Each structure stands twice: as structure tokens, then as C-alpha cells.
Structure 1
Amino acid sequence: MKPDEIKKLDAYFKRTFKNPSMQVRARPRKSDSAEVYVGEEFLGIIFKDEEDGDYNFSMAILDIDLA
């Protein structure tokens, strides 16, 4: 994902979730997606659908997190 896309997504997540500690970061070994964090806690991955230009956010929720 390009740096300007990551910057726009970062602003979107902060604004939408009203949480300035959210961050969208480039992935170390992948260029087709980015990672979402709150502080240092990993939340999920954003993928771009190259065909239509939309973005998909995928977040796994572990059973132990619900207890």
C-alpha cells in the first residue's frame, strides 16, 4: 500500500473511532496491505481491492478476549 493511502486510512480510523492512539502502519514484508494498531496492540489488517478501489478491514477476535 502506498504511503499516501496509509496516511488517509490512518486519519479515517482516528476520526471514525474517535481514538487518536489508532495507527495504520505499513507491513514489514508485504506491500498489498497495512496493519491497524491501538497503541502497540495489533487489531487487524486492511486490504485494498484493486479491482474497485475499496478497502477491507479484517479483525480476528479471540475467544479468550471475550472472557
Structure 2
Amino acid sequence: MKPEEIRKLDAYFKRQFQNPNLQVKARPRKDDSAEVYIGDEFLGIVFKDEDDGDYNFSMAILDVDLG
């Protein structure tokens, strides 16, 4: 993803979830997606759908995290 896209997504996540600790970061060796964090905690990945220009956020929730 381009740095401008990452900045826009970063601002969107912070605003949407009302959490200034959220961060969207470029992925090493990948340019089709970005990583989402709260502080040092990895939350998920944002992918851009090149066909329609939309973004998709994917977050895995482990069973052990629910208990």
C-alpha cells in the first residue's frame, strides 16, 4: 500500500474505534496490505481490493483470548 493510503487508514481506524493507540503500519516485503496494531499488539491485516478500490480488514480471534 502507498504511504498516503496507510495514513488515511490509520486516521480512519483511530476515528472509528475512538482509540488514538491504533496504528496502521506497512508490511515488510508486502505492498498489497498493511498491519493494524494497538500499541505493540497485532490485531489484523487490511487488504485493498484492486478491482473495486475497497478495503477489507481481517482479524483472527483466538479461543484462548476469549477465556
Gaps of 5+ in 1: none
Which amino acid in 2 is paired with 1:60?
A
Q: State the partner residue of 2:36.
A: 36
How many angstroms apart in 2 are the aligned matches of 1:46 and 1:29?
Answer: 15
Instruction: Trace 1:43-62 onto structure 2 (pairs within 5 A).
Output: 43-62=43-62
> Secondary structure of 1:23's match?
strand
How many angstroms apart in 1 are the aligned matches of 2:11 and 2:23?
Answer: 9
Q: State the partner residue of 2:15.
A: 15
| Number of corresponding residues | 67
Q: How much is the aligned-residue C-alpha RMSD, in angstroms?
A: 0.3
How many angstroms apart in 2 are the aligned matches of 1:44 and 1:54?
Answer: 17
> What is the TM-score normalised by the length of structure 2?
0.99
Q: Deviations over 1:40-59 (max 9, x none)?
A: 00000000000000000000
Identity of aligned residues (%): 79
Which amino acid in 2 is paired with 1:55?
Y
**Distance apart, 1:29 and its partner CA:** 1.2
